[in-house]
Amino acid sequence: MTVQSRIGEETKSGQYSSKELDTWIEQLKECKPLQENHIKYLCEQAKDILSKESNVQEVKCPVTVCGDVHGQFHDLMELFKIGGNAPDTNYLFMGDYVDRGYHSVETVTLLVALKVRYKDRITILRGNHESRQITQVYGFYDECLRKYGNANV
């Protein structure tokens, strides 16, 4: 199977290459949202990875532990600037990736992309803001509607 030449195209198996994922990660680091179909792909891959992980996670040390990001994309980038980029640094994110900030979509998409690309170096936990009810109250749902015209992402 070969990856087609255009960026963002799937291989015949329906998978994207590591190079594709790296391109998406770089795009996200510039706070530029991905296409809806790319986000769906990342979510499907992350769901598959996370469903195979134990509810109690062993984390490789040393590890940088990060608390609530709440859509503060530029703060997340500062965390990576100080702590180092994945996969050079192990990260444990404690949840609450969305709501309150202006860039929740880009923030959570970057973290999911990093999890898919470096599944053994990035640990992401679900916070209370990663629930349908909370996201509808605090803004993530509305941000998805604004940026994509629907809440499918």
The two structure tokens encoding residue 75: 């703060």
Return the C-alpha torsion angle 84, 110, 74, 90, nearest 10. Answer: -20
The model's pLDDT over 129-138, given as tens digits with 9 standing for 90+, comes to 665 666 665 6
Residue with tokens 């992401």: 124
Of 14, 56, 58, 62, nearest to 38 (Cα)? 14
- Where in the sequence numbering do the catalytic residues fall? 129
Cβ–Cβ < 8 Å for 118, 128? no
The two structure tokens encoding residue 50: 């996370």
Q: From residue 46, how far is each of 39, 50, 82, 108, 116 by CA, in Å?
A: 10, 6, 26, 12, 6
The dihedral of CA 10, 14, 19, 23: what is its sign?
Answer: positive
**Distance, CA of 46 to CA of 53 (rounded, Å):** 11
The two structure tokens encoding residue 110: 């970057």
Cβ–Cβ < 8 Å for 98, 68? no
The model's pLDDT over 62-79, given as tens digits with 9 standing for 90+, comes to 999 999 998 899 999 999
Domains of the chain: 18-53+60-148 (3.60.21.10)
Whole-number pLDDT of residue 132: 63
The model's pLDDT over 85-119, given as tens digits with 9 standing for 90+, comes to 999 999 999 978 887 888 989 999 999 999 999 99
